[in-house]
Amino acid sequence: MSNERISSRRRFLAKTAMGIAASQWIIPAAFFEAATEPGPDPSLSSVPSTKKIMEPLKFIDAGVLKIAYYETGPADGPVAMLMHGFPYDIHSYAAVAPLLAAKGIRVIIPYLRGHAPTTFIDAATMRSGEQAAIGMDLILLMDALQIKKAVLAGYDWGGRAACVAAALFPERCTGLVCVNSYLIQDIKNAGEPVSPDKEAPLWYQYYFHQERGRKGLEKYRKEIARILWTQWSPNWKFTDADLDNAAKAFDSPDYVDIVIHSYRHRFGLVPGDPRYAAIQQKLAALPPVTVPAITLDGAGDGVVPATDGSSTARFFKGKRTHQVIPLVGHNLPQEAPDAFADAVAKLLGR
């Protein structure tokens, strides 16, 4: 059977299994709870991610940070801001970046706060990992680079930063690409339990609530990342080189403080940085995303199970398309770069 026929048959089976009519695949979320579209079959072989691919790095002062970032593509092209997650780094986009640059898109990929070589400008600044902080970091980076508007795209922490910025600053957002749909945290209700099968993959969050977890992260940064990568992306054939590349970002002196604060703040266990209080107050209302959005789920995600998108449809007031990518885990841009790049390019008409 030809590759084209195999791919067509897989799409048909995926559509049938989800019980969704073809006419419902791409429908504005404002008129239908969600549209679920099976994505392309990914290659699960490891994507090469040597340091030379993501160099040279640039640095710029933006808010409280001196942000390290990688840039590629034409300087006068439409902009895509690509945000990485935890415990990962910018190499999640090693294959996505050239795909977008080849389409004439200017690509900016920053290291998030707490990830080397991004640093804090002032030693006295609170090492906050709260959602308001990472969302504002994105907006302040755009300000520093004099970028008026961009597609904001990400997964995990980076997806949350993109959601925060898109929801609160829609005038700065051409469109949103986010893995696992709407990621703004409902801190007020974070203490409500979910079913045990959904609690179990979150062991690392509860571990970080303990001082034992802080000490464990300090001592075993790369080892914890290896376990999480394996559990979250069971079909991804990552290499030691992939992990070694990412682990260099964990060597920041701020890494442990930022990670621990993030996972404690989201459960209401610690206060946030007062400078972000007004932003966090807005986020507590769970503001909707009004810009065009494409949300992606990996069918093999071991920490956030894939859905048809309907449970989060109420948070998207603009046109929204939801896609499920077969086999792929939590680090979707590195595991299925074509699918992620296609989503970004669609929102830019490329």
Three state DSSP letters for the chain:
CCHHHHHHHHHHHHHHHHCCCHHHCCCCCCCCCCCEEECCCCCCECCCCCHHHHCCCEEEEECCEEEEEEEECCCCCCEEEEECCCCCCHHHHCCHHHHHHCCCCEEEEECCCCCCCCEECCCCCCCCCCHHHHHHHHHHHHHHCCCCCEEEEECHHHHHHHHHHHHHCHHHEEEEEEECCCCCCCHHHCCCCCCHHHHHHHHHHHHHCCHHHHHHHHHCHHHHHHHHHHHHCCCCECCHHHHHHHHHHHHCCCHHHHHHHHHHHCCCCCCCCHHHHHHHHHHHCCCCECCCEEEEEECCCCCCCCCCCHHHHHHECCCEEEEEECCCCCCHHHHCHHHHHHHHHHHCCC
Is 222 a residue whose pLDDT tops 60?
yes
pLDDT in tens, 108-141: 999 999 999 999 999 999 999 999 999 999 999 9
* Cα 284 from Cα 282, distance rounded (Å): 5
**Given this model, what pLDDT does residue 13 score?**
36
The average pLDDT across 274-292 equals 98
pLDDT average, residue stretch 268-288:
98
Average pLDDT, stretch 198-222? 98
What mean pLDDT comes out for the span 41-56? 57
Output the pLDDT for position 53.
74
Task: Please give the structure tokens belonging to residue 223.
Answer: 């080892």
Q: Name the average pLDDT for the chain.
A: 89
Structural domain total, the chain: 1
Instruction: pLDDT band for 52, please (50, 70, 90 cuts).
Output: low
Q: Is the pTM of this model over 0.75?
A: yes
Residues 249-264, mean pLDDT to the nearest whole number = 98
Beta pairing partners, 62: 65
Q: Which CATH number characterizes residue 191's domain?
A: 3.40.50.1820
**Does the structure show a pLDDT above 90 at 161?**
yes
**Domain extent for 321:** 3-347
Confidence at residue 281, expressed as pLDDT on a 0 to 100 scale: 98
Closest CA to 106 of 133, 69, 135: 69
- pLDDT of 17 > 80? The answer is no
Of the two residues 299 and 17, the one the predictor is more confident about is: 299
Per-residue pLDDT of 22-44, as tens digits, reads 222 333 333 223 344 444 444 44
pLDDT of residue 6: 39
pLDDT at 318 over 80: yes
Work out the percent of the chain whose per-residue pLDDT is above 70: 85
pLDDT of 238? 97
User: What pLDDT is attached to residue 310?
Assistant: 97
Q: Band of the pLDDT at 349, cuts 50, 70, 90?
A: very high
Reported as a pLDDT band with limits 50, 70 and 90, residue 307 is very high
With a cut of 90, say whether residue 288 has pLDDT above it: yes
What's the mean pLDDT in 206-231? 98
